[in-house]
Amino acid sequence: MRAELLPPVGPAVRLKRDLTVIGRKRNVCDVIIERDSVSALHCLLVKTDGLLFVRDLGSTNGTTVNGQRITRGALLPDDELGVGGVKFRVKLGPGTEDFGVGEASQKTEAVRAVR
């Protein structure tokens, strides 16, 4: 399954691993967001059986799906994932090829690094 997070500005963040940790903590998080509103270990994304799940890791400012604060849940194509106020559009599809919007390997407005 291919999965990407599309920020409002900048390249897509391709989720290459089955488990992806999002947060501020370097050398631990797979997707690093340098914003004060994002916790050190903010949320976890899990790809399994063709589905993408999100779990908040006890963050201070919360994780949202389509504007609703969640502790855990499933993500559907075109859902809006909010990580401490930073918004991403969820893109999901079969296979492993990119959606044609490119892999994130450079700094965007909010996302600093992707491991």
DSSP string for residues in 56-111: E-S-SS-EEETTEEESEEEE-TTPEEEETTEEEEEEEESSSS--SS-B--S--SSE
* The total number of structural domains that make up the chain: 1
Mean pLDDT of 96-103: 54
Q: Is 3's pLDDT higher than 60?
A: yes
Cα–Cα dist 4/77, whole Å: 10
Asked, for residue 115, whether it belongs to a domain, the answer is no
**Beta-carbon contacts of residue 7 (< 8 Å; ≥ 6 apart):** 13, 86, 87, 88, 108, 109, 110, 111
Contact present, 33 and 83 (Cβ < 8 Å): yes
Residue 108 confidence (pLDDT) = 38
Asked, for residue 109, whether it belongs to a domain, the answer is no
Contact present, 6 and 86 (Cβ < 8 Å): no
Mean pLDDT of the chain: 88
Residue 95 confidence (pLDDT) = 77
Residue 26 confidence (pLDDT) = 96
* Domain harbouring 60, CATH code: 2.60.200.20
Asked, for residue 32, whether it belongs to a domain, the answer is yes
What is the reported pTM?
Answer: 0.84
pLDDT in tens, 27-70: 999 999 999 999 999 999 999 999 999 999 999 999 999 999 99
Asked, for residue 106, whether it belongs to a domain, the answer is no
Asked, for residue 99, whether it belongs to a domain, the answer is no
Domain that holds residue 53: 2-93
